[in-house]
Amino acid sequence: MVQLSRICLRKFGNFVDNLRLYVRGGSGGMGLPRLGGQGGNGGDVWVVGSKNMTLKGIKEKYPQKRFLGGPGENSSVRAIKGQRGQDKEICAPVGITVTTDGGRILGELNTEGDRVKVAKGGAGGSYHSRFEPQKGQAKHIRLDLKLIADVGLVGFPNAGKSSLLTAMSNATPQIASYAFTTVKPEIGKLMYDDYKQISVADLPGLIEGAHINKGMGHKFLKHVERTKQLLFVVDVNGFQLASTTPFRSAFEAVQLLTKELELYKAELVSKPALLVVNKMDLPDADDKLEELKEQLQNPDEFSDLLPADMIPKNYITFTHVVPVSATTGFGVDLLRSCIRVSLDEDAAMATKAIHQERLQALRLSLT
C-alpha cells in the first residue's frame, strides 16, 4: 500500500486574502465667527472596485496602511464658505467584502467601479457648532476576499476532479468521459466527526494557454483566486487533451498547471497547495508515482521535459502529496485528513499574525 508522501513544508504568506487598514475622514475647516462664515467639510474615504489591483498590491504600495481624507478649508474673508476637503479613494480588487474591525459589513465590491464609504469627513465649523469644526470618522476596516470555497480543485480535463469531489463529499457533479466535463464551479462539503465543515470547489478544467483566456481561461482563474488553498489533481499516467496536442506526464501536468497560474497572477502560486495523484488503481501506478515523487524533489533536473516558455519561475512545494483512486476510494480518507490538517495549520498562522499585528498597533498607540 502506498504511504503518504509529505514533501517539505514551506512558509506561506505571499498571497494576501485579507487586509486591515486604518482610515480617517478629513477634519472640517474652521468657521469665521465675525462674518458667519462656514468652514469646508472634510473629505471622505472610499474603497473603490478596481480591475487591476490586488490586496497584496495595496499592502506593498501603502506599507503604513493609513488612508486619510483631505481637511476642509477654513472660512476666510476671501472665501466665506471654505472648500470641501479632497476625498481619498482606496483602489481595491473586485470580489471583496468591506467590514469594520468588529465584523460589521460596510459593503461589497462586486463589479469595477463599485464604491463603499468607509470614513466620513468632519463637518466644517458654522453658526450651529459655534464655528468649531468636527474631526473626521476614524476606524480600522478589513478588506476580505469573498471565498467561494476553502479549497479549489485544480487540474487539466479528465484528471478526475469531479469523481474525486463525489468520493470525498456530498456533491454530485455531472461526470462524462470528454474534456471540459465541468463548466461551472461545483461546491461540495467535507463533513468531519467534530461537525467541522470544509467546502471544496471543483473548478472548470484548465488547458495550456488559459492565462491568455484559452478554454475557460480567465473565468477559471478568477475562481482560483477565491479559494483559501489549492488542491492540484493529476492523472498518475499523464494525459493528452487531443490527438493534435502533445502527451504530458504527471510531472509535466503539475508544472504546466503551476505556470498557467503564475502567468495569470504570480501570487496565486504562493497559496498553500496539496497534490493529489489520482487513478492509482491503474496498472504500473506505483512505479509512476515513485518517478513523480523523485521529479518533484528535484524539479530543476527534469525541467528539460517542458517547453522553455512553460517552465515555472517558482516551483510549488506541496504540503502533502496524496495518492488516491477516486474510483475505488483508495486514499480518500487520508486526503480528507490532510486537507483538514493543512487548513487548520493555515488558520493558526493567520490568527497568530492578526494577534501580532494588533499587539504592534497597541504598542505604537502607547508610545
What pLDDT digit, counting tens, does each position of 68-114 carry?
999 999 999 999 999 999 999 999 988 889 999 888 999 999 889 99
Give me the mean pLDDT over the 349-366 stretch: 79
Predicted confidence at residue 220, as pLDDT, reads 62
The closest of 235, 256, 238, 233 to 306, measured between CA atoms, is 256
Q: Is the pLDDT of residue 176 over 80?
A: no
Q: Is the pLDDT of residue 159 over 70?
A: yes
Separation between Cα atoms, residue 93 and residue 143, nearest integer Å: 9
Judge contact between 141 and 106, C-beta under 8 A.
Answer: yes
Predicted confidence at residue 15, as pLDDT, reads 64
Cross-strand bridge partners of residue 47? 90, 116
CA distances from 26 to 29, 84, 107, 137 (A): 9, 9, 21, 8
Predicted confidence at residue 16, as pLDDT, reads 73
CA distances from 45 to 87, 110, 114, 139, 318 (A): 6, 19, 14, 11, 41
Judge contact between 131 and 80, C-beta under 8 A.
Answer: no
The closest of 74, 80, 62, 76 to 23, measured between CA atoms, is 62
Give me the mean pLDDT over the 138-163 stretch: 87
CATH of 18-145, one of 2.70.210.12, 3.40.50.300, 3.50.50.60, 1.10.150.20: 2.70.210.12
Please, which pLDDT band fits residue 178 given cuts at 50, 70 and 90?
very low
**Angle at the Cα of 282 from the Cα atoms of 279 and 285, rounded to 5 degrees:** 80
Predicted confidence at residue 188, as pLDDT, reads 87
Pick 27 or 4 by higher pLDDT.
27
Q: Is the pLDDT of residue 186 over 90?
A: no
Give me the mean pLDDT over the 282-308 stretch: 93
Predicted confidence at residue 100, as pLDDT, reads 92
What pLDDT digit, counting tens, does each position of 271-290 carry? 999 999 999 999 999 999 99
What pLDDT digit, counting tens, does each position of 311-355 carry? 999 999 899 999 999 999 999 999 999 999 999 998 888 788 778
Predicted confidence at residue 94, as pLDDT, reads 87
Please, which pLDDT band fits residue 18 given cuts at 50, 70 and 90?
confident
Q: Is the pLDDT of residue 28 over 50?
A: yes
Would you kindly state where each structural domain of the chain is located, as residue ranges?
A: 18-145, 149-348
Q: Is the pLDDT of residue 217 over 50?
A: no
CATH architecture of the domain covering 149-348: 3-Layer(aba) Sandwich (3.40)
Most confident of 185-189, 206-210, 320-324: 320-324
Give residues with Cβ within 8 angstroms of 361, minimum separation 6.
none
Predicted confidence at residue 307, as pLDDT, reads 84
Predicted confidence at residue 181, as pLDDT, reads 38
Please, which pLDDT band fits residue 14 given cuts at 50, 70 and 90?
low
Rg (CA), the chain: 26
Predicted confidence at residue 157, as pLDDT, reads 78
Please, which pLDDT band fits residue 180 given cuts at 50, 70 and 90?
very low
Please, which pLDDT band fits residue 156 given cuts at 50, 70 and 90?
confident
Q: Is 358 helix (H, G, I), strand (E, B) or coil?
A: helix
Entry pTM:
0.67
Separation between Cα atoms, residue 217 and residue 338, nearest integer Å: 29
Please, which pLDDT band fits residue 264 given cuts at 50, 70 and 90?
confident
Judge contact between 94 and 50, C-beta under 8 A.
Answer: yes
Q: Is the pLDDT of residue 138 over 70?
A: yes
What pLDDT digit, counting tens, does each position of 228-261 carry? 899 999 999 998 777 777 888 999 999 989 988 8
Give me the mean pLDDT over the 147-151 stretch: 86
Q: Is the pLDDT of residue 48 over 90?
A: yes
